């Protein structure tokens, strides 16, 4: 394996690992708040589950980018591309927008959604407001994914 290919694979791994780590942390934050709130009213599980799941999308975005990366370099049934160091760095940096945006937005989305759990616990009819606040944080993960995909689309070897 040459250094360029190693860098490309490392980029895919970082996209998956960082966004997945952020999602795990974000989901943990919301699930902790939801578990505490459900100890008082277990019937609110249905209202909380969407807020708990929302930070998990960043992990999915990172997985998609990792998959697109290994497909682009030929590790999925194609001819493995021999990359120069510079091409490997291009692929590595292509993955950083979703890796970084996914990590931080999922953690902060978890905090926002945990606040949403507290809101719904006290005012059950405010589910929409809690969800909108969580989705606002999601927007920045989507931007990170779009930047990574746009680079992926126009990257040629």
- CATH superfamily label, 3-154: lithium bound rotor ring of v- atpase (1.20.120.610)
Q: What is the pLDDT of residue 1?
A: 78
Q: What is the pLDDT of residue 25?
A: 99
Is residue 133 within 8 A of residue 115, CB to CB? The reply is: yes
Which residues of the chain carry a pLDDT beneath 50? none
pLDDT one-digit tens code per residue, 56-83: 999 999 999 999 999 999 999 879 999 9
- Would you say 130 and 48 are in contact if contact means Cβ atoms under 8 Å apart? no
Count the helices and strands in the chain (H runs, E runs). 5, 0
What pTM was estimated for this model as a whole? 0.94
Domain boundaries, the chain: 3-154
> So what's the pLDDT on residue 120?
96
In the prediction, which pLDDT does 103 show? 99
């Amino acid at each position: 394996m040459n250094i360029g290919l190693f860098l490309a694979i490392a980029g895919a791994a970082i996209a998956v690992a960082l966004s997945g780590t952020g999602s795990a942390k974000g989901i943990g934050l919301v699930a902790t708040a939801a578990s505490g709130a459900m100890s008082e009213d277990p019937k609110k599980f249905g209202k909380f589950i969407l807020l708990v799941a929302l930070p998990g999308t960043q992990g999915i975005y990172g997985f998609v980018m990792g998959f697109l990366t290994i497909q682009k370099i030929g590790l999925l049934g194609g001819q493995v591309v021999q990359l120069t160091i510079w091409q490997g760095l291009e692929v590595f940096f292509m993955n950083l927008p979703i890796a970084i945006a996914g990590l931080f937005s999922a953690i902060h989305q978890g905090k926002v959604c945990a606040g949403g759990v507290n809101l719904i616990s006290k005012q059950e009819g405010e589910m929409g407001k809690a969800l909108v606040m969580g989705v606002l944080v999601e927007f920045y993960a989507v931007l990170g994914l779009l930047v990574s995909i746009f680079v992926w689309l126009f990257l040629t070897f």
